[in-house]
Structure 1
Amino acid sequence: MTSASTSQAPLRNQVALVTGATRGIGKGIAIGLAEAGAIVYITGRSVKPADAPLSTDGVSGSLQETQEAIAQIVQSSQSGGQCLAVATDHSDDEQVRSLFERIASDQDHRLDILVNNVYAGVSKLRATYQTRFWENDVDLWDACNHVGLRSHYLASIYAARMMVPRQRGLICTISSWGSLSPIFGVAYGTGKAACDRLSFEMAQELQPHGITALSLWPGIVGTEHITQAFATSQAPAKPDSAPTPTSPQSKAGMIRDQYNWETPELTGKVLATLAADPKLMQRSGKVNIVAEVAKTYGILDQDGNQPVSLRSLRFFLPYAIPSLQTHANWIPDWRIPWWFLLLTSLASPKAISG
């Protein structure tokens, strides 16, 4: 096997850690980084398929399966990428500490990329979908934000301790449009907004040390959970809710029709491209939209698809009028300005004089 060139493997020999990579977006990111030549550590609780019996929502995944997928892609691309699996329960601080000690020992205290992706709230969110926050137990907060926001903060501490002495690195936190607009309720939205604030605050302190911290927002991603959850969903409305373009019926319909879906691998390609960009620091402390970054860098999804941003007119109009989905290519890919979205979607930070 011949060695890949730098252009073919721009992250060759860089060390990356992707938390929560047994399936979904984490798996797609691990694949993208390894395909770009990185040495990728992946974490999860299930090592082998036998260790991960189908959960109550019928979704499984394991570190071994991610490793096997990466091995196939690396072999065909000859990128030189590697994948090392470390079974880790991110709700256990001691296991997280041990994980970073393992990487430091293996790689001479070198870590170039941390991807904060691990999340354990999906099943709980599905069970409480369309309920009000006061109708749920307080443990919904912990389900959404312990293995999630808190885990990201802890991992970032350990990563920064390895990156600061070397004056380089990238800490990417996978967040969501749910930090801007209500999607899955109070606990979820608050946690995701805090993830974006975490990236912003870290960026201020890490910038003098040459380290980038940013948030990355995928769109509607066809993960195993999303595919299974909405395959037959009808998302009935509550008795007191009238159908609107942003009602649960409309949201479920868009997802069920797979309109403007992204694959997990698109997020991986985008992150690998960002990590290799010498001007990456310009994005530090900011929210980066997967579809928008993909368009900027000319990155296509599977089958040559180019998903649009969820703030694009090409997404919003078919969202409001589903019959327009078949004519979406006629709609301009004009992005709704952030200031306009903030007028209605994120009212809470606004201050009132007097």
Structure 2
Amino acid sequence: MTDNRVAVVTGASRGAGKGIALALGEAGATVYVTGRTRSPGDADLPGTVFATAEEIDARGGTGVPVVCDHSDDAQVEALFRQVEREHGRLDILVNNAFTIPDGLTRKGPFWEKPLGLQDMFDVGMRSAYVSSYYGAPLLTRSDSGLVVNTSSFGGRCYMHGPAYGAGKAAVDKMAHDMAVDFKPFDVAVISLWMGLLMTERNAALFGAVPERYQSIAATAESPEFSGRVIDALARHPDRMNWSGQVLIGAEIGAELGVVDIDGKKPASHRPMLGDTPTYSTAVVD
């Protein structure tokens, strides 16, 4: 892989996307940071696309902020046209944009939760497809392209109800099927199950009731850990061996010698939350 890698990380104003973007930037990449938050105060949580890009610059990479609503296909197309004008190719695409509707973690059956939880099918499931669609021609020009759909154990176990689970299962299967189409172009596609992350949202939750969440907070991964795993996968000469698979971040991180920002190796939640899916090798055109 070239040293001047070009990456797009969607939904990177904060949370997992920000951590991934920072890790890739620290590794020297030019990172296009997308999201809707322009200014502090525009969202309930801290973070903007501009702040993430500035921190990437400070860490030695090049951050390119792009205000983009991933529910608007025209804005997504414009994003990749910008990448094409400025670089002519794309090496890493991280499909991370995801909406978190009110009521997602509310207890109870799905019919007692807001119907708006289906918004996750738009910014989450559908947005991953659209970004991959517009990014594909640029990825095929890379000498070692990689697409990563960020996902979770919710794609296999019951987590927050059927809307969340369906969305995560969809991006997992999407990675498997896209890998078939990308294989002739030497572009790897994987879905990455992240662990519990110490995002701004979770940090606020844990801090509000520390006595309740102290033990679980101690097991949380930094958002940057996922970015370090993605960087290691992108650099690996045999990255195509993992293409089409759902990978657990903690496990593939351990295999590739990746540690978190505190120097620790996060533990896999497989024993508690279950195995990754296995798909058929049949291809029906």
TM-score (norm 2): 0.90
Q: How far does the alpha carbon of each residue in 1:13-43 deviate from its partner, in whole angstroms, 9 at most, with x for none?
A: 1111000001111011111111111111010
Q: Which moved more, 1:94-103 or 1:291-300?
A: 291-300
Cα pair 2:149 2:192 within 8 Å, conserved? yes
Q: 2: CA distance between counterparts of 1:100 and 1:282?
A: 27
Query: Which residue number in structure 2 is paired with residue 102 of structure 1?
Result: 82
Q: 1: CA distance between counterparts of 2:256 and 2:144?
A: 23
Q: 1: CA distance between counterparts of 2:141 and 2:55?
A: 34
Classify 1:122/1:310 alpha carbon distance in 2 versus 1 (closer, same or farther; 3 Å): farther
1:218 equivalent to 2:194? Answer yes
- Indicate which of 103, 108, 112 corresponds to 1:131: 108
**Letter paired with 1:103:** V
Matches within 5 A, 1:78-97: 81-97=61-77
Cα pair 2:198 2:223 within 8 Å, conserved? yes
Cα pair 1:11 1:276 within 8 Å, conserved? no
Q: How far does the alpha carbon of each residue in 1:288-321 deviate from its partner, in whole angstroms, 9 at most, with x for none?
A: 1111122112222122222110024xxx4xx9xx
Provide the aligned length of Structure 1 versus Structure 2.
279
Classify 1:116/1:61 alpha carbon distance in 2 versus 1 (closer, same or farther; 3 Å): same
Q: 1: CA distance between counterparts of 2:53 and 2:120?
A: 27
Classify 1:138/1:302 alpha carbon distance in 2 versus 1 (closer, same or farther; 3 Å): same
Cα pair 1:11 1:33 within 8 Å, conserved? no
Q: 2: CA distance between counterparts of 1:254 and 1:211?
A: 40
Matches within 5 A, 1:19-38: 19-38=10-29
Classify 1:203/1:253 alpha carbon distance in 2 versus 1 (closer, same or farther; 3 Å): farther
RMSD in angstroms over aligned alpha carbons? Answer: 2.5
Q: CA deviation at 1:122?
A: 4.8
Cα pair 1:230 1:256 within 8 Å, conserved? no
Q: How far does the alpha carbon of each residue in 1:136-155 deviate from its partner, in whole angstroms, 9 at most, with x for none?
A: 343211x2121111000000
Unaligned runs of 5+ in 1: 1-9, 75-80, 235-251, 320-335, 347-354
Unaligned runs of 5+ in 2: 279-285
Q: 2: CA distance between counterparts of 1:33 and 1:287?
A: 21
Q: How far does the alpha carbon of each residue in 1:51-83 deviate from its partner, in whole angstroms, 9 at most, with x for none?
A: x3452xxx2310122122222221xxxxxx211
Q: CA deviation at 1:255?
A: 7.1
Q: 2: CA distance between counterparts of 1:212 and 1:260?
A: 30
- Indicate which of 224, 247, 257 corresponds to 1:298: 257
Matches within 5 A, 1:159-174: 159-165=135-141, 168-174=144-150
Q: How far does the alpha carbon of each residue in 1:80-126 deviate from its partner, in whole angstroms, 9 at most, with x for none?
A: x211011101111111111111111111x211110000011254414
Matches within 5 A, 1:105-120: 105-107=85-87, 109-120=88-99
Query: Which residue number in structure 2 is paired with residue 12 of structure 1?
Result: 3
Classify 1:159/1:226 alpha carbon distance in 2 versus 1 (closer, same or farther; 3 Å): same
Cα pair 1:220 1:255 within 8 Å, conserved? no
SS at match of 2:147: strand
Off by >4 Å, runs of 4+ in structure 1: 165-168, 252-256
TM-score (norm 1): 0.73
Over alpha carbons, which structure has the higher Rg?
A: 1
Query: Which residue number in structure 2 is paired with residue 158 of structure 1?
Result: 134
Q: 2: CA distance between counterparts of 1:18 and 1:41?
A: 6
SS at match of 1:95: helix
